Amino acid sequence: MKKLILWAIPITTAAIVVGSLFIGMSGPNHTYPYPLPPLHMEVLLKAEAGDPTAQIQMGNWLKDGTLGIVDIAEAETWFRSAMDSGDKDAGYRLFFLLYDTNKNEALKALEISAIRGNLEAQLLMADSAEHLRPPPGSPPNIEKDRESARWRLAAAENGDALSQFVYGTYALRGAGGMEQNSKVAAHWLEKASRQGNPTAQVFLAELFAEGNGVPQNLVMAHVWANIAASTGDEYGKDLRDRLAQSMTAEQIARAQETASRCQRTGFSECE
C-alpha cells in the first residue's frame, strides 16, 4: 500500500484541517485538491489501522472519485486488504472493480465473498451457473446444475426468498444434480411462502392438496392458495376455487380464518 504522509494546516487556534498526500510507488504522486474533511480523515486513519469496513469505504471513495481523485489501483489495494482480513463484502466490491479488466481475478474475489456469506455474491454465482446451462434439448451440464443448486442453497439459507423457492423446485423435480425429495421441497417452499412469494405459495398449496412431502391437508392447501390469490395470482385463485369444491363449509371457514391470521401476523401464525 502506498505510503501516507499527513500534515496539519492551522486555520484557527481551536481547529485544524488535515490534508493528505499519497506517495506513489511509481508514476506521479496523487494530491487531493483540497484538505480532507474530518470524517474522511477519520475513515482513512481507521483503514490504515486495519479496519476492513474503513478499507472498503476508502476503496469505494477512490473508485468513485469522492476524495477528488480516481485511483483504481489504490482502490483495489484497499479492497484486497479488507478481503485479506476476512471481510465477506470486500470480494463482492472487488468483483465489480476488476470485471472489465481481469475477469478471472474478479470471479475469484466474487466466490470468496459468496463462500463467506455475502448474499449478493451468492446470487451472482447462482445466476452465472444458470446462464451457462445448455439450451433445452441439449445434454445436461451436471456440473453447472450442481453449482447452481449449491449457491441457491447458500442464498436460501441466507434468507433469500427467490432462492428458497428455486431450491425447493429443484428438490421437487430432482433438478440441479439433486435427488428428488418432496420433504426438502416442502421445507423450502414454505420458507419462501412465509416471505410472501405467491408462486411458492401455490406450489406449497399443491403439495398439501396432494399429500406430497407433507401430510395431506385440504385446509392448509386452501390457506396457501387463498393467500396467493389475494395477491392477484391467477393460479392461486383457480386452485383455491377447485379445492373449495371438495371441502365442507366448516373447512372453508377455518381455512379463510387461518389465511387471514397468517397475513395479519406477517406469516408467523399460519397453522
What DSSP line would sit under 89-135, residue for residue? SHHHHHHHHHTTT-HHHHHHHHHHHHHTT-HHHHHHHHHHHHHTSPP
Q: At what angle are helices 161-173 and 182-193 packed, to 10 degrees?
A: 160
**How confident is the model over 143-202, as pLDDT tens digits?**
888 999 999 999 999 999 999 999 999 999 998 888 999 999 999 999 999 999 999 999
* DSSP β-ladder status, 3-10 and 30-31: unpaired
pTM comes to 0.81
Q: Do the bridges between strand 16-23 and strand 3-10 make them parallel or antiparallel, or are there none, so unpaired?
A: antiparallel
Q: How confident is the model at residue 229 (pLDDT cuts 50, 70, 90)?
A: very high
89-147, pLDDT tens digit by residue?
999 999 999 999 999 999 999 999 999 999 999 999 999 888 765 566 667 677 888 99
> According to the model, what pLDDT value does residue 215 have?
97
The confidence band for 30, taking pLDDT boundaries of 50, 70 and 90, is very low
pLDDT score of 129? 87
- Provide the angle, in degrees to the nearest 10, between the axes of the packed helices 90-98 and 52-64: 20
84 vs 2, 57, 60, 87, 110, CA distance in Å? 17, 15, 17, 7, 14
What is the Cα–Cα distance from 33 to 22, expressed in whole angstroms? 12
Q: Is 19 exposed, middle or buried (0-12, 13-18, 19+ CB in 10 A)?
A: middle
Which of 1-10, 46-55, 130-139 holds the top average pLDDT? 46-55
How far is the C-alpha of 95 from the C-alpha of 76, rounded, in Å?
10
Are 192 and 162 in contact by the 8 Å Cβ rule? The answer is yes
Exposed, middle or buried: residue 105 (CB in 10 Å: 0-12, 13-18, 19+)? middle
Contact call for residues 194 and 270 (beta carbons, < 8 A) = yes
Count of C-beta atoms within a 10 Å radius of residue 50: 12
For residues 12-32, give the mean pLDDT.
36
